[in-house]
Amino acid sequence: MNAGKVVAKTPEQIEGMRASGRLLARALALVVEAVEPGVTTNALNTVADEFIRDHGGTPSFLGVPAGSPGVAPFPGSICASTNDVIVHGIPSGNALQEGDIIGVDCGVILDGWHSDSAVTVAVGEVDDEAERLIAVTRNALDAAVAAAQPGNRLGDVGAAVQGLVERAGFSVVRRFVGHGIGRAMHEPPQVPNFGTAGTGAVLAVGTALAIEPMVNVGGPDVRFDTDGWTARSADGSLSAHFEHTVVVGASGPMVLTSRAAS
């Protein structure tokens, strides 16, 4: 899917992507605020969908075709992935429970430019392991972003995630990877969350990447629900996911989906 040449974005194109990322960050911040025990994931989906449309954007996940035959297109504007769900959970009428964790992944198209970002949050009070998983996965994203320096290589990004996660005693999910992003949600290159520092393609100024570590408390293996989308840890252990859309700038990485800056 992401084979082919990596095309760096021009400063004008990056401004377009920045606007898309800012809108997505604001939508996700609202969703995070809305997370509490008793809220359904359908309600969270509505928060994101309405905010994005009200601000001139289009939620990009809704209607995405499945990779496998016989699976319906994705029915939500967010992915809502609770507890052992790694990614691609479908919003539903199920209410969040105290002690759950929920990963919310969302994508926006604004003026033709895609952005993609995810965050995992605690629902009320969670146990120490869940809290540590969320912190480690967030730190893994931060480390990966910090490695997205011009002249560094893709392997530096993956190694940053893998090293941090494995030192914490958790596993990196390998079945899904990050990706280039721009006029399409998925562009070259693939961005694995594992690898060897100093190997792989060199990161050029203007390269736009969606970096997205997925981390399981237990083993890295994945199983799918019969809906064809919902991807869970095979051993049922908790899983977390964080993602930012990032551009490799001349003086370092620029995070386009930072909720702090929105």
Segment interacting with Mg ion, rule: CB under 5 A, options 7-15, 167-175, 210-218, 250-258 = 210-218
Size of the site for Mg ion (CB under 5 A): 6
If one asks whether residue 210 binds Mg ion (CB under 5 A), the answer comes out as yes
If one asks whether residue 208 binds Mg ion (CB under 5 A), the answer comes out as no
If one asks whether residue 156 binds Mg ion (CB under 5 A), the answer comes out as no
Considering beta carbons, is residue 165 or 185 the nearer one to Mg ion? 185
For the window 104-143, what string marks contact with Mg ion as x by the rule CB under 5 A? -x----------x-x-------------------------
CB of 258 to Mg ion, least distance (A): 15
DSSP string covering the chain, please?
A: ---S---PPPHHHHHHHHHHHHHHHHHHHHHHHH--TT-BHHHHHHHHHHHHHHTT-EESSTTPPPSSTTPPPP--SEEEEETTEEE-PPP-SPBP-TT-EEEEEEEEEETTEEEEEEEEEESSS--HHHHHHHHHHHHHHHHHHHH--TT-BHHHHHHHHHHHHHHTT-EE--SS-EEE-SSSSSEEEEE-S---TT-S-B--TT-EEEE--EEESS-S-EEE-TTS--EEETT---EEE-BEEEEEETTEEEETT-STT-
If one asks whether residue 187 binds Mg ion (CB under 5 A), the answer comes out as no
CB of 81 to Mg ion, least distance (A): 10
Segment interacting with Mg ion, rule: CB under 5 A, options 37-45, 90-98, 148-156, 204-212 = 204-212
If one asks whether residue 49 binds Mg ion (CB under 5 A), the answer comes out as no
If one asks whether residue 173 binds Mg ion (CB under 5 A), the answer comes out as no
Considering beta carbons, is residue 1 or 135 the nearer one to Mg ion? 1
Binding region for Mg ion (CB under 5 A): 105, 116, 118, 210, 212, 243
